[in-house]
Structures are given as C-alpha cells and as structure tokens.
Structure 1
C-alpha cells in the first residue's frame, strides 16, 4: 500500500526520505506549495497554499484513497491532529481517531477526561457567553486564566487578575471557543516522550524557566532538563504515566504534558497533547539521548520500530531559552558568545521593528547550553541570556 503524509516543511528542515529509510511503500504527500517540489521521489504530491486552513485537504484525501489506497496518515503538527483523526475514522485507517484526537486537543474535553480518571486539574469551564466568564470569576475568584480551547503557543491566553481586568477583556474579546480556569500557583514542568501500544517507552522531564505566559509580561521562556534520578523528575514521569493511562490509548505517538508543582507539593495537570512539543525540547532530547522524537514516531507509525534510548544514560543535560524581541528596531545582536558550553541561533531580522513578543516562543535569538546538573544548566542559561541582552542594540 502507501502512506499519506501532511507536511509544511522543506527538505532542509525535515528529510522525510531519510526518515523513512527501510519503508518499502510509496509515500503520498499533501504539502504547502512552497515545499512540495522538495520531494520529487514521492509519486503523489498535492500542493496547498496554507495546508492547515485549506478544507480541500480532507476532500482530496478521501478521493485519493478511493483511487490509490493508503494505510497510514502521518500528521505530526498540532493543527493537523483532529483533521487526521477524522480522516482515519472515515477511511477505516489505523491510528488515532477523532475522539482520541479531540481529548488531546480540546482543552475542555482533555481536562474532563483526565479529571474523571482521578488526575488533579484546575477548576475550569467551557465558555459560551460573557456571563459564563463572569459567573466563573464570582465562583472561583481571581486571578483566572482565559485561553482558546484549541489554541497553540499560548497565543490569545490572558490572565485576568481583577474585576476591572475582566471588564476590559470583555470589551474587545469574544468568549466563544474559550476556556476559563482557576489560576494555579506553582512552578511549571513538562514531560515529553514516546508511547507505543499504550505504554510509555521513553520520557524526559524538564523544568520551565518562566512560563508559557511570560511573553505577556515581555519575558522569555526556557527549559532545563532534569537529570535521571532527580526526585521530582521521577515523580513527574510517574504522573505522566498515570495521566496517559486514563486518556484514550495511543498506539504510536509522542506526548507532551505540562504540569504545575504547587507550593504544597501537589502535581496538577495543565495540558497534555498527543504530539511532539514545540519550542526546542526536541533538540535538547536529541542532543542528550540521540533521539529525534518526530523521526522516531513517524517511523513507528509506519511500522518501523527503532530501539529507544535508556533515559538513565543521558550523556549531558541541556537547556534552552527564547529571548523575546523588545519594542523597537533591532540594530545588532551577537553572533557568538564567549562560553564553550553555549550555542546561539539568530532568529531575528536586523533592521526590523518589533512590538514585543506575541506568543510564548517568539524570539530574536535562542540560546542552548549544556551542563552536568539541572542547577548548573539553569545558572548557565542565566549567564548566556544576560550576555546576549547586554550586547544587543535596540533603537526606540
């Protein structure tokens, strides 16, 4: 048979032909127009201007399956999870179906599913009208968090800290498609890994430096890997396993869970997804363990199961940080830093005028550092970020 792949990345970013070495089947690709010709070896390639927003994708997939059947749909991105699940159900294809995809994508369904399984979650309510938001605030007090049910990168997420802030929010924002939840005090962590046939086969815990909402205060966000055997890290991984046991079973998937560790030592779910995390966690895990999460799971979904690393044997620990743009024109930024344990990647454009960050991972430069312990990595991240910011020039 064949495999259908949804893709918006160039070959330079993701070489799917290399990823699928050993697959003795055709690969069909639905891709963004700008990258579709990067893979001339695929016998079926359909271009779309904006893949995630083009409703013809589903229609064309059903037509293609009738003409040239395929047995798997590979859809790695958050925006494609529900679409792919719906198509699998329609075509009788193995893999994550619509109901499972919804439970990992829609935050209300997600939290209700987890809560029914005994997993601690924040008080929350799916909003249908402004009255729902006001009622929630009266019942639970401030601060409260308002976020899209199916948002990405913490975009359009707001923390409302008073009745006045709620009023300002309602002036210009609709509550349709939104979720309100009680604010949870605590430090944020995430757990990322691989699930095969419902079992967590690999997992790695990392600590946030700031949170995904830091951009609303014009701050960056980062992550620090916790060393194998770290007491809290082991608790976090156990929590993730308990969580995934009550969510719809995943046959071959990466996962990404975000949690709060509260001052009274509880672990509370923030969100969980059946996909690889955004940001640079994939890069950190690959450097520490030699495991590329998306490559691994793409192959696994096609039946190509590769050995997974022993998470107790990380060669070193890594951390990364997104340094957000300020308000003004970016005049200059460092190309290197004077630390042999740090690398930088320039993301910004010299001469461009920025208005501050608009999402959690927006940055003009990212730093990646290494060390032997989480504490050392966190200190080094601070040193690297300070150097970059001191040596970047902005013009108001």
Structure 2
C-alpha cells in the first residue's frame, strides 16, 4: 500500500512518514514550498524520509498540482489519497475516482464543499441553519435584506478560511458591497452565498470518524469573531467546553446528526461550526470533512493524547488504531483527559520590532512565533495567518481560560509592530 499526501502546510507538525510507517509502499507527498518557509522551517534535503517528496512553489498553480498528482499516483501505484486542506478535497476525490481508490468521491465531497447543498441537506434532516439565498443580482440581495433585515453575511459558496467573508451592518455598507459584488455589465452570479446574520457565540466540534463511527469528538467555543481576523489586533482565545457544561452533550449530539445527514465517508476528520444564540438555539453554520485549521489540531491532541490527523490518516489507510485498541471494553470513543485551548495573534502590516519571550510553563503544549524582529509583514490573508500562537492545557476549562488570557496579555504587550 502506498499513500499520496497532498500537503499545503508546514511539514514538521505532520510527520506522515512516521504516522504511516507501516505502509509497505511508503508515503508519496506533494508539499508547498511557500507554506514550509512561512512556517519557519528549512526545506528538507532530498525526499526527507518519504518514498518521494515533490516540492512545488505553491498550490495556487492548480494545473501543475493536478498533473503532478496524476503522474505520481500512476507511477507509484498509489492505493490511498490523503488531503486535509479544504481546497484539496475535490482534487483528492477526483484522483480516487480516476484510479478506483477507496475514500470520498467527488459527489460525496460536494455535500461538504457546496454550502448551498450542505444547508439543504441539513435542513431536510430537521437541523436549523441560517436563512440564506444564492442571489443572482443586486436586486435579489435587496429583496432578501428587506425580508430578513441587517446585518447580512456574504461568503463564497465554496469558500474556506473566512476568505472573502463580509458582514454588512448598514445600508451604506450594503450598497458598497453590491457595487463590488455585482459589477455593471457582468452576468448573474451563482457563486455568492447570502445569509441572514445569526447572533450569538460560535462553537465548534472537532473529531474523527473511523470505520463509520465517531471515535473522537469534543466541542470548543471561540471567544472572538472569526470574520474580524484582519482587524483584530488583540489576543484571540478559543477553548474547549467542560464535560459538565450543558452545551457539551447538545453540541455532540447535533454534530452526530449533521454528519449523518451529510453522509460523510467511512473514515475522515471533521470540523463543525455551530452558533449558540442568545435564546439558546443551536444553528449549524458549516461542516467540513477535514481536520480543523488554526491550532485546533494541537488542542485536540492535548485533550485526547492522540493527534486527530494521525488517527484519521491511519484509519483511511487501514492501519491499526492503537488509541482505540486501548479503550476499556464497552467504550467506543476516546474520552478527554484534560481541557485545552489556543491563544492567537493575527499578522498585521508593518515591521516587527519585538516578539514575545518563549513561555516556560509545563502546561504549554505548543508555542510558535511566525516572524522575526526586523521582518516586514503584511496583513492576514486568511483566518489562520498567525503572528503568534500557543496551545495551553489545564484540568478545567476555567483554569485553562485563565492561563490563555494571561499569555494573551503577554502577547499584546510584548509584540511590537511599527
């Protein structure tokens, strides 16, 4: 067996060569040089421990990546294709279909990538989603606004990472957005999703499905607005919910229903976003059939003692799952051993003059600064464009939040950008 990994992340946090070492045919990887360098890593020598490592300058060259993936899959007689970035799910599914491989195929991916189809399937299953429409013209947007009021949320039908997401709060902002979105002379649009604004705190549930059942899952709650990543100059905190929190079982049960409605693959990681409204409703925003971004993967690793991407990759390739084999008889899923969370500082334009001192506390599970003094950086292009990030753990959510807030205060004080 040989796995082809489509990888547009830094390399060090994802040691597929070690995670999938039992594959007799090894691991073939296409990796993005720009992401490796942006993560502060040195480029690997040769194949870097993989059967074959192909470095491309960027995954933005879609035609090149498609061609390389097809050629490598054929040359190395690949039996499994792994992709854990939203933008590569369709590509991976197409390769599986072309070469007759197991895993999610294009038709299945669309329920997770096409937000209109996703919301229809969720609503048909009795799951509440935001009122929404696919406006072809500016007048259709105005009609929707007249019915649902402001604010309104504009997003790409197949978007990810909050790229292009706009929250319009006033009539003046709406007209500016319409002038930008519907250029004079352009034809009707089919790629723009318009949603009524859902108030409340955004929660997310992250985990892994293996063998058709959920084996890892836990809810967290963002303490910030996801869409403000380009304007937010302060520390952004996100952390798990305690087992005793009344929201915890509700979010887990709702996510299970959503995954069932979307008919995900037998083995996959997932990231579900759910609004908890002021009147105590749970409204599903989106569900992704891939691991969460930011440092949520490290948060889950701290919570369960098992890396979700390793678990998902081993499940997909049919390898043993030692973490599940160690479960007590009668238990089907992993249970949290601690609480954890992340504190983040977004990039913002300027020259970096000072960065935080490395924290030494034993509860720091991950720490990274992604710029050096003297470096000139631009604004965040995506919601995971961090200047600094840390994952901390504690026995309770309350203690975890206290630690995260304290380190966030240090970030705000010690990071200096002109």
Instruction: State the TM-score, normalizing by the size of structure 2.
Output: 0.85
CA separation in 2, counterparts of 1:191 and 1:222? Answer: 16
Q: Does 1:208 align with 2:222?
A: yes
Q: 1:364 to 1:49 in 2, by over 3 A?
A: closer
Q: 1:129 to 1:92 in 2, by over 3 A?
A: farther
CA separation in 2, counterparts of 1:215 and 1:65? Answer: 37
Give the secondary-structure state (helix, strand or coil) at the position aligned to 1:234: helix
Between 145-154 and 311-320, the greater mean CA deviation after superposition? 311-320
Q: Does 1:29 align with 2:35?
A: no
Equivalent positions of 1:141-160 (< 5 A) are 141-160=149-168
Give the conservation status (yes or no) of the 8 Å contact 2:304–2:334: no
Give the secondary-structure state (helix, strand or coil) at the position aligned to 1:24: coil
Shift of 1:4: 2.3
CA separation in 1, counterparts of 2:322 and 2:266? Answer: 16
* Equivalences, count: 395
Counterpart for residue 307 of structure 2: 292
Q: 1:137 to 1:232 in 2, by over 3 A?
A: same
What is the alpha-carbon root mean square deviation over aligned residues?
Answer: 2.7
Counterpart for residue 6 of structure 2: 6
Q: 1:16 to 1:177 in 2, by over 3 A?
A: same
CA separation in 2, counterparts of 1:45 and 1:387? Answer: 39
Shift of 1:277: 0.2
Give the conservation status (yes or no) of the 8 Å contact 1:122–1:183: yes
Shift of 1:154: 0.7
Give the conservation status (yes or no) of the 8 Å contact 2:211–2:315: no
CA separation in 1, counterparts of 2:267 and 2:168? Answer: 38
Q: 1:125 to 1:349 in 2, by over 3 A?
A: farther
Between 295-304 and 43-52, the greater mean CA deviation after superposition? 43-52
Q: 1:384 to 1:102 in 2, by over 3 A?
A: same
Counterpart for residue 392 of structure 1: 415
Shift of 1:248: 1.8
Give the secondary-structure state (helix, strand or coil) at the position aligned to 2:300: helix
Instruction: State the TM-score, normalizing by the size of structure 1.
Output: 0.90
Give the conservation status (yes or no) of the 8 Å contact 2:264–2:289: no
Shift of 1:190: 0.5
CA separation in 2, counterparts of 1:379 and 1:21? Answer: 39
Q: 1:49 to 1:323 in 2, by over 3 A?
A: closer
Q: Where does the alignment leave 5 or more consecutive residues of structure 1 unmatched?
A: none
Correspondence for 1:93 among 101, 112, 124? 101
Counterpart for residue 238 of structure 2: 223
Instruction: Output one character per residue of 1:209-257: Cα deviation in whole Å (capped at 9) or x when no partner.
Output: 1121132542553311122343211211111101111112321100000
Counterpart for residue 296 of structure 2: 281
Shift of 1:25: 2.5
Correspondence for 2:259 among 232, 238, 244? 244
CA separation in 1, counterparts of 2:129 and 2:276? Answer: 12
Instruction: Output one character per residue of 1:307-339: Cα deviation in whole Å (capped at 9) or x when no partner.
Output: 446677533211111112455432112213586
Q: 1:354 to 1:132 in 2, by over 3 A?
A: farther
Q: Does 1:112 align with 2:126?
A: no
Counterpart for residue 305 of structure 1: 320
